[in-house]
Structure 1
Amino acid sequence: MDFMKMMKQAKQMQEQMGSLQEEVAAIEVTGASGGGMVVVTLNGKGTMQSLKIDPSLAKADEVEILEDLIIAAHNDAKAKAEAAMAEKTQEMMSGLGLPAGMKLPF
């Protein structure tokens, strides 16, 4: 592979990484727990955008259950965000002709 072709591919990959990061930031994923009694929405960077709690869970003697459900809903949403990012990264890499298992530093 000649040097100029490699430089062109590196520049193309850098541009696509920038657009990938923008796409990932725009992703919105929702995680739920307790049969939908707690719902968390995150953006692609993992920042919580919203939290909905069924009013029936707002009882002083059930705070620990509520805390556990919030954590579970957050983890559910985070896993979905990570899966969406992995999928978008895979699409980008296949478009560049890179090997499927190749890890990128980001």
Structure 2
Amino acid sequence: MLKGLGNLGDMAKMMKKAQEMQGKMAALQSELENTVVIGESGAGLVKARATAKGDLTGLDIDPSIFNPDEKEVVEDLILAAIKDAQSKAAQKSKEEMEKLTSELGLPAGMDIPGL
């Protein structure tokens, strides 16, 4: 169809590929916003929920750890659960990005801004 246009045909293919990638990136962004990961600490006594984009959405704290003498321990457990959730969110995001770049034929590890 664009055979006689030389480099313009290649440019058209590249533009089509860029539009395809933009659509897939938008879908991935939405998926990451709706994917929930759970971080835990203290053998599950504290759980933090976050989106795969890393936004903290909730905490679940077992009431057994509410001892006034253990305030610092509780704070540490909460921070550990949040960090675990953020780490899992980053890993999930990375895995999904690797799938997308692979599908699009892009080099492994290519960083796409906005994700």
From 102, 108, 112, the equivalent of 1:104 is 112
Provide Cα deviations, 1:36-66, integer angstroms capped at 9, x if missing partner: 1111111123222221111121111111110
Question: How do 1:20-99 residues align onto structure 2 when only pairs under 5 Å count?
Answer: 20-99=28-107
Q: TM-score, normalised by structure 1?
A: 0.93
Q: Which has the higher contact order (CA 8 A, sep 6+)?
A: 1
Higher mean alpha-carbon deviation, 75-84 vs 37-46, is at: 37-46
Give the distance between the partners of 1:97 and 1:47, measured in 2 at CA: 29
Percent identity at matched positions?
45
What number of residue pairs does the alignment pair up?
106
CA offset digits 1:61-104 (Å, max 9, x no partner): 11111011000001111111111111111111111111112111
Larger radius of gyration: 2
Q: 2:3 is matched with which residue?
A: none
- Equivalent in 17, 23, 36 of residue 9 of structure 1: 17
Q: Which runs of 5+ in 1 are unaligned?
A: none
Q: Flag as ranges the 4+ runs of structure 1 deviating above 4 A.
A: none
- Normalised by the size of structure 2, how large is the TM-score? 0.86
Task: Name structure 2 gaps, 5 residues minimum.
Answer: 1-6
Distance in 2 between residues matched to 1:54 and 1:81, nearest whole Å = 23
RMSD: 1.2
